[in-house]
Amino acid sequence: MPNFLKAIIMSVIAFASVYYLTGNPTMAMALSLIPLLLGLMRVMHGFAYSLAALCLIGAVAWSVAPVETKTMVRAEVEKTGVKITAP
């Protein structure tokens, strides 16, 4: 598979995961540019893919977490001023 295609796939995964977690398209786009740019420049592939994988794992973990855990985490995060919009 060509490197540019891998970079695009990883960027889409990162965008979808971050957008699911935050609901903020600007933040999702900014974070998804990291794997895209690093993949297109052919540097630090491991870091770029790890970032996309970490975003995906975080989104999957959040989606399967119990409601009590989500409520507790959401309350703690909102104390910092950040809002979690994922269900």
Look at residue 84 and tell me if it is in a domain. Answer: no
Give residue 32's pLDDT.
93
Is residue 23 a part of any domain in this protein? yes
Alpha-carbon distances of 13 from 65, 68, 69, rounded to whole Å: 20, 27, 24
pLDDT of residue 43: 87
- Crossing angle of helices 3-22 and 25-41, rounded to 10°: 160
pTM of the model: 0.81
- Find the domain containing 34 and state its range: 3-78
In a domain, 87, yes or no: no
Domain count, the chain: 1
- For residue 57, is it within any domain? yes
Any domain includes 40 = yes
Is residue 86 in some structural domain? no
In a domain, residue 34? The reply is yes
What tens digit of pLDDT does each residue of 15-38 get?
999 999 888 899 999 999 999 998
**Would the pLDDT of 60 be above 90?**
yes
